Amino acid sequence: MDVFGPSWENHAETIKRNWDAQVLDSDLVLVAGDTSWAMRLNDAMPDLAYLGERPGRKIVVRGNHDYWWKREATRRLQSVVDPSITLLQGQAAVFDGVGITGTRGWAEDAEGGSEEQNRRILERELRYLEAGLTALPEDLKLRIVVLHFPPYSASLEPNAFLDLAREHSVGIIVYGHLHLPMSERRLEGDVDGVRLHLAAVDSVGFGPSLIVP
């Protein structure tokens, strides 16, 4: 990532130092995608090992650059990553009364495909999110959704992912993708009753950002 500017120089070491100084083994860390640039799983293993070595339990969703993570292979991939990592692709997880689900999401300009291709991907990602939300138990103190793409359009209008989250009483959406300077057009805080939190690493100082005290 250091090809994107001087702020990214030695970013892996900076993230490691900040993470290890702030996160306890009992903490839960949400990782909103783009874990590795690798195209194949074997090439991604050093990055996944780096993540597994960090303290805390980690919830990870796919990003648009996670080509090593074929969505159909999520169960198989789960068996080879560190036990502290949970890969979410439309599944649900519960930690200390907090229900979490997630998927990659989609954006209108994500990959420049045809209108029909974009529609199919959008519908598929919404199905993943709905499956995860439906799988969450009723008696939760909080519901969190983790997406890679933001839950709003380029014109800052809430999209179908935010609508679906609201229907299922989600309290917080954590998302990534918008690195500087794109993050200058971010939406954060309360939007239609859901708190949005941008977690792109250069937007939060290359370290963990507290979501729930």
CB atoms within 10 A of CB 120: 12
Say whether pLDDT at 181 is over 70.
no
**Positions of E strands within the chain:** 28-31, 57-60, 85-87, 92-95, 98-103, 142-147, 172-175, 189-191, 194-198
The confidence score (pLDDT) of residue 146 equals 98
Query: How do residues 50-63 score in pLDDT, each as one tens digit?
Result: 999 999 999 999 99
The confidence score (pLDDT) of residue 1 equals 83
Query: How do residues 65-92 score in pLDDT, each as one tens digit?
Result: 999 999 999 999 999 999 999 999 999 9
Could you give the domains of the chain? Answer: 2-203 (3.60.21.10)
The confidence score (pLDDT) of residue 5 equals 84
The confidence score (pLDDT) of residue 29 equals 98
Say whether pLDDT at 211 is over 60.
yes
Query: How do residues 99-131 score in pLDDT, each as one tens digit?
Result: 999 999 998 766 667 888 888 999 999 999 999
User: What secondary structure does DSSP assign to 6-46, as a single string?
Assistant: GGGTTHHHHHHHHHHHH--TT-EEEE-S-----SSHHHHHH
- What is the arithmetic mean of pLDDT over 171-196? 87
The confidence score (pLDDT) of residue 59 equals 97
Is 177 in contact with 150 (CB distance < 8 Å)? yes
What's the mean pLDDT when you consider all of the chain? 93
**Maximum pairwise Cα distance, the chain:** 46
Query: How do residues 17-51 score in pLDDT, each as one tens digit?
Result: 999 999 999 999 999 999 999 999 999 999 999 99
Greater model confidence, 162 or 187: 162
Tokens of 159: 């999209």
CB atoms within 10 A of CB 102: 33
Calculate the alpha carbon distances from 129 to 99, 133, 182, 192 in Å: 13, 6, 25, 18
Q: Which residues pair with 194 in a beta bridge?
A: 191
Question: Closest Cα partner for 1 from 206, 207, 213?
Answer: 206
Is 90 in contact with 83 (CB distance < 8 Å)? no
The pTM assigned to this predicted structure is 0.94
Say whether pLDDT at 184 is over 70.
no
Tokens of 148: 């890679």
Q: Is the dihedral of CA 129, 132, 138, 141 positive or negative?
A: negative
Question: Closest Cα partner for 173 from 156, 148, 136, 153?
Answer: 148
Q: How sure is the predictor about 183, in pLDDT bands with cuts at 50, 70 and 90? A: low
